[in-house]
Structure formats: structure tokens, C-alpha cells
Structure 1
């Protein structure tokens, strides 16, 4: 995809990323605010990966690595840009990042009700592990 620019997000991108997620992402998170995204970028400047076309965000993925596990969140593609290889380009970028960092397995957070995402992740070679459940506690 030659017209797609894949890059890491910086602090100037925060407002645009939050607008993009409101339009393109499924679900919301307690950290979907300026402070949450700023903290992500400050803690791990390479984690938030953007796909841009013509200077506009077409997709995002968060590829976080804590030294133990590789975790993927917020794979989102703008509705007008779906089925054009953007999710594949973003997951490839995340996987390359993890390989460079020494990662060995990727966990992807996928909403249970998001059937379209299930197909996307399955097509990328990921499989569901039904014996795990996510447990959360807001701070």
C-alpha cells in the first residue's frame, strides 16, 4: 500500500487520535482521554502506531510491550477505509515492533461482540483462547 504512511504517534496527535477513536473504534476505555493517551506516549513512545493517508488518520493500533508480553489494543480502521489492507499493515507494524523488542507471543484485546474484528484477527493468524477471561478493576 504505497499511499499509506505508518508512523508512531506523538503528543501533537492526541486530539486527532481521540476524535478518530470516537468515530472508528468499537467500545470505549477509561483511558480514552488526553491524559491517558499522553501517558501512553510518554511511557512507550513507539506503542501507538498510526496509519495515515493524505495526512489523515486511517487506522490505529497500540502495540505495548512490558518486557514480558506483547499486547495489542485499539486496532481500528476508519469505516471509509476498511477492506483496503490497513489493518494488515498495522498488525504487521505491531508484529515487527515486537520482534525487534524480543517479544515471543502477542495477546490481542478483542471485544466479544465485534464479529468483524474476530474475522480480521483470524485472517491475520491469531486464534481465540477460550480458557482465559479478562478481569479488570478501575483505579
Structure 2
């Protein structure tokens, strides 16, 4: 999928694992226990279309994990490289993610966002997600 501003959204492949991990170390806020080669490899083995990558001129500029277990849509690792922020990349990734979920029959997205990442809170809110204090998550119907 491409957008008019030459941004390309594609599914990650096994060869992308190391570059994605390096990207997350630089662009993502915080790390996860599954942020390793084995963890991302398992994700791609289980659902090869879950990890969406945004590229501009062949450079990785953004990611989102769009996981679906047949019941719930889950969003993880929305990250945009600091040099490329505020250019619509997160919006393009979220749109691609939501199209994926709709095609799979998903009806609601739960987004995991670090409590202290207030910049991300603003991005999710601007994209139409509503924070559910009771569950401490951001949700949106698909």
C-alpha cells in the first residue's frame, strides 16, 4: 500500500527482524521482554501480516503491530522515527492497521500504550481512540 507522499506500508518479512529491533531501540519509547529476535520471529511465524512497516525511500520510518486472535484486535509498537514525526506516518500506519482488522472481521482495537508516553497518548486520541481508565487502555471500534 502506498500513499501520495511516497510512503510505503508493507508487511514485515523475516529479513526485517534485525532492522526492526534496531529501529525500536531508537524510535520506540521503552522496551518489552519480547523485543528480541525470537519474539519478533514468533510473531511473524504466527501471523506474517501482523507487523506493518512504513518506509520512505527504502528507509524504515515507522512500525505498528496489528495483532488479531480471532476475537480481539490489539495494537502494539506504534513507533515513528524521531526525524520523521509529524508527517502523517503514524496516521498512515493506523489506517493500514484498521483496514487489516476490518478485513479480518475485527470490531474493536485495544492499544497498549506506556502510561508515561504522553506524546503517544496524544497521537492515539487524535486518531479517534478513547482511553478507558478502568482498563488503562485505548480502544476504538473498527
With normalisation by structure 1, the TM-score equals 0.94
Unaligned runs of 5+ in 2: 138-142
- Structure with bigger strand share is 2
Query: Matched residues in 1 for 2:38 and 2:59: separation?
Result: 22
Q: State how many pairs are aligned.
A: 134
Residue 95 (structure 2) pairs with residue 88 (structure 1): no
Structure 1 segments of 4+ aligned residues over 4 angstroms from their partners: none
Residue 45 (structure 2) pairs with residue 6 (structure 1): no
Query: Matched residues in 2 for 1:108 and 1:127: separation?
Result: 10
Q: Secondary structure at the match of 2:75?
A: strand
Residue 118 of structure 1: CA displacement?
0.5
> Per the alignment, do residues 53 and 39 of structure 1 end up closer, same or farther by CA in structure 2, a change over 3 Å counting?
same
Residue 95 of structure 1: CA displacement?
0.2
Residue 21 (structure 2) pairs with residue 18 (structure 1): yes
With normalisation by structure 2, the TM-score equals 0.92
Where does residue 122 of structure 1 map in the other structure? 125
Where does residue 41 of structure 2 map in the other structure? 38
Residue 110 (structure 2) pairs with residue 107 (structure 1): yes
Unaligned runs of 5+ in 1: 135-139
Residue 2 of structure 1: CA displacement?
2.6
C-alpha root-mean-square deviation of aligned residues, in Å?
Answer: 1.0
Residue 92 of structure 1: CA displacement?
0.2
